Amino acid sequence: MKTRTTGKIVDISRSLNGKFRITLEIDDQPSEVTDDLMDITMQRHRESRSLDANGLMWSCLQQMAEKLNTTKWEVYLRELKRYGQFTYILVKEKAVEDFKKMWRETEQVGEVNVNGQKSIQLLCYYGSHLYNSKEFSVLLDGIISDMKELGLQPPPSVEMQQALMKWAKDHDEVSQQAE
């Protein structure tokens, strides 16, 4: 059985055997009830990013790609490297290629010796779909700055601000509901 839904925790108690019981109020009816042991994951609900802000970003990337005679995907990856969120990760040498497939973009930084074993340090960039409103705003501001450097006309400030405000509002409402 696999069920994906949204809901809220309405009660937490501790049973006589010391284990916790969590009562959930969910939006959809479960497909089945079972006594089987289950893997359970809970995380704060997050609405999808505003299509206005996302569409604005991809429109800008398309204009830049046309000017640079490349694809908007290549420009997107370049902009992630300049303005995006990233982390450093150590990976065993034999797992590097598989690991790179799990990230939007990676760079091999170098070799590191950890407890006598060779590891590869990777710089891994998160895809913008994982960004909060501040992180996305930094990315979009960087893209707009690069558009200006290329002599391209960025979207009107009002249009950009409205898209960012709508995106931030959508995310802030979700954050407040989850608290």
pLDDT per residue over 33-71, tens digit each?
777 777 777 777 665 555 577 888 999 999 999 999 999
In 27-104, which ranges are E strands? Answer: 86-92
Average pLDDT over the chain reads 83
Q: What share of the chain is helix, strand, coil (3-state, %, to 5)?
A: 45, 25, 30
- The whole-number pLDDT of residue 102 equals 87
63, 81 contact by CB (below 8 A): no
Domain range enclosing 162: 51-178
pTM for the whole structure = 0.60
- The whole-number pLDDT of residue 46 equals 61
d(CA 119, CA 95): 10
Q: Is the pLDDT of residue 178 over 50?
A: no
45 within some domain: no
Confidence of residue 30 (pLDDT cuts 50, 70, 90): confident
Number of separate domains in the chain: 1
d(CA 162, CA 174): 18
The pLDDT > 90 percentage for the chain reads 40
168, 140 contact by CB (below 8 A): no
